[in-house]
Structure 1
């Protein structure tokens, strides 16, 4: 079945939220992290290492590296994801360079430098994690390791936040071996680089924690029941376009005494929004019930694990 067209309002709302998320992410980096020569994970972390070593602005490196990841994501996650991520990547790349140029040095001095690296790490991490969460919740990505995490998450039951954190460790450790120049042009001492690496680890923990909190738990699943006379179209759309298993149950409306068909599907809570859009596009009058489930075990979800009894 062809991918259903979304309303202009819904699409506009998605892009507005993505834009807000991108600017929250960029604000965290340009206002709190970069002025302190702090290192984070992902492509932005790589781009910051390049900027501190060569002077090449973060936005340029960020854009070039992400293009390759976006091409891969187009094949794995679909064109809808790719379009939003291309948009987010372009906006992020431009905003990174523009905001570094327009934010007054006095502001970054007061907010970031004067408050110290620890406070800047906390504030930058909260803003970055919130921004990534807002973007992912609308089916997009700020690029970098979160693209890789979402591609893996499509086939493996792993939290995006945890996956991002694991990949970011390598990037942060690598910063120790690359020369880093301070805003005044002086070379960062080795002792300070060790401190920067430690703050980098604190940063990725904050970002991943805030991300998972924003997404209300990436591993949480929901059960959806749909009553509609267009149940076949809905079931086909979920199976073919959203790639989730569907069960159609036979039921009976007790008030009308009419036979009804009920579509049942279980999916991740982070995917609920797109499911509801598909259902509404096919049948705006469909009766939909959504409930959280404690545990879902099987293909595409969690694996049943049992502790071994001691003999």
Structure 2
């Protein structure tokens, strides 16, 4: 395996470790929904009573199929690896009986940082997180002028609209703020990557 591929796999692993931890230990316990796969699963869990782990895996499989059909083999293989890492880390951290919660503002900031870095690690390695970024990447492939981070934000806002029914106004407001903050941080990281500042 060449060095570039090794670096990409390490970045995908680290990115999903950060995201799995953040979603399991800050997002889910604080009921912060932001429009991603875990948020979709949280909404569906609240409505159906089906365990979040099953729902997360089901939505991930659906997005992997979309990835395979629209984003190509290289992206699909890395995204498959990414989804395996994410589901392993989310399941592991969700199942472990410890908490790292401090309070909502601190948890919010830490989750924003971990998730934006996690997304960056995957996207900059030509991988998706097999989250709503798959839909944004499909749209980007059709129109390279769109901003991926902002498109993810808008897709998250749509999911948050459905979250209003399941979690109420406070969770949605926090989710809107979260989507804005982490997508802003992600955009800064992606711009630094394009300028050659970050790998």
Provide the C-alpha distance between the structure 1 equivalents of 2:48 and 2:69, rounded to a whole number of angstroms: 34
Give the alignment partner of residue 142 of structure 2, picking from 155, 162, 180: 155
Give the alignment partner of residue 66 of structure 1, picking from 56, 60, 84: 60
Q: What does residue 109 of structure 2 align with? A: 122
- By relative contact order (CA 8 Å, sep 6+), the higher-ranking structure is 2
Please identify, of 208-217 and 21-30, the stretch whose mean Cα deviation from structure 2 is larger: 208-217
- Report the CA distance between 1:72 and its aligned residue: 2.4
Seen in structure 2, the aligned counterparts of structure 1 residues 55 and 20 have a Cα distance that, compared at 3 Å, is farther
Provide the C-alpha distance between the structure 1 equivalents of 2:48 and 2:88, rounded to a whole number of angstroms: 19
CA contact (8 A) 2:57 2:87 kept: yes
Aligned-residue CA RMSD (Å): 2.1
Question: Which digits, 9 at most, give the CA deviation of each residue in 1:180-223, with x for residues without a partner?
Answer: 5xxxxxxxxxxxx21111100011011211111111268x6x8x
Seen in structure 2, the aligned counterparts of structure 1 residues 214 and 103 have a Cα distance that, compared at 3 Å, is farther
CA contact (8 A) 1:59 1:94 kept: no
Structure with the higher fraction of residues in strand conformation: 1
TM-score when scaled to structure 1? 0.58
Provide the C-alpha distance between the structure 2 equivalents of 1:141 and 1:48, rounded to a whole number of angstroms: 21
Question: Which digits, 9 at most, give the CA deviation of each residue in 1:66-87, with x for residues without a partner?
Answer: 2222222223221010001011
Structure with the higher fraction of residues in helix conformation: 2
TM-score when scaled to structure 2? 0.88
Q: Where do residues 147-296 of structure 1 align in structure 2 (5 Å cutoff)? A: 147-156=134-143, 157-178=145-166, 193-216=168-191
CA contact (8 A) 2:20 2:87 kept: no
Listed as ranges, the gaps of 5+ residues in structure 1 are: 1-6, 181-192, 223-268, 274-311
* Greater Rg over alpha carbons, structure: 1
Listed as ranges, the gaps of 5+ residues in structure 2 are: none
